[in-house]
């Protein structure tokens, strides 16, 4: 009878240990996500908020602003904005802060880039909104 008790005890122990699971990962709280967000990402979001919908009536109201930084120098890209609804001075200051933050992050991480120059594509008023120009929308 002792082998049966031992077998029963081992089976009960195996059943109990298989039920002991690690708890599922806790999704990050908004505060934790915000803490992990880089300064350049936060400033980039502020830039997009400042630009808003970039409403326009004519191409002459559309401009571009350089954003971000590349490891070899120069901007990472451009955003289109409207002179009709955006404070140009505040936009320039925020874009400069965002580029500086991005450059610091690149230097701290040792990240490399392709060193390709990103040309300013220009901007055009398309359907009442400033957009980066494309070959078909450039005028």
pTM over 0.75: no
16 pLDDT more than 80 = no
CA atoms within 13 A on the CB side of 116: 5
The percent of residues in the chain predicted with pLDDT above 70, rounded, is 71
Q: How confident is the model at residue 138 (pLDDT cuts 50, 70, 90)?
A: very low
If one compares 32 and 66, the residue with the highest pLDDT of the two is: 66
Q: What are phi and psi of 61, to 5 degrees?
A: -90, -10
11 pLDDT more than 60 = no
Task: For residue 20, tell me if it sits in a domain.
Answer: no
Task: For residue 120, tell me if it sits in a domain.
Answer: yes
Q: Where in the sequence is the domain holding 62, given as residue range(s)? A: 38-139
> From residue 6, how far is each of 50, 68, 98 by CA, in Å?
72, 68, 68
3-state secondary structure of 59: helix
Instruction: Count up the domains in the chain and report the number.
Output: 1
26 pLDDT more than 60 = no
| Averaged pLDDT of the chain | 80
For 71-112, what is each residue's pLDDT tens digit? 888 999 999 999 998 999 999 999 999 999 999 998 888 877
Given CA atoms 38, 43, 49, 54 in this order, what sign does their dihedral have? negative
Rounded-to-integer distance, Cα 49 and Cα 87, Å: 12
Task: For residue 70, tell me if it sits in a domain.
Answer: yes
Task: For residue 2, tell me if it sits in a domain.
Answer: no
Rounded-to-integer distance, Cα 136 and Cα 125, Å: 13
Q: Residues 6 or more apart from 98 whose CB is under 8 A from it?
A: 40, 43, 44, 46, 47, 67, 68
């Amino acid at each position: 009878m002792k082998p049966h008790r031992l077998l029963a005890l081992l089976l009960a122990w195996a059943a109990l240990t298989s039920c002991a699971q690690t708890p599922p990962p806790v999704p990050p709280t908004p505060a934790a996500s915000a803490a992990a967000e880089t300064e350049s990402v936060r400033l980039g979001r502020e830039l997009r908020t400042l630009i808003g919908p970039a409403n326009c009536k004519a191409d002459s109201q559309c401009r571009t602003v350089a954003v971000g930084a590349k490891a070899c120098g120069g901007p990472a890209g451009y955003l289109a904005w409207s002179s009709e609804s955006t404070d140009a001075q505040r936009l320039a200051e925020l874009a400069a802060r965002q580029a500086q933050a991005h450059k610091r992050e690149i230097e701290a991480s040792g990240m490399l880039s392709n060193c390709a120059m990103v040309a300013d594509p220009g901007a055009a008023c398309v359907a009442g909104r400033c957009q980066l120009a494309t070959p078909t929308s450039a005028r």
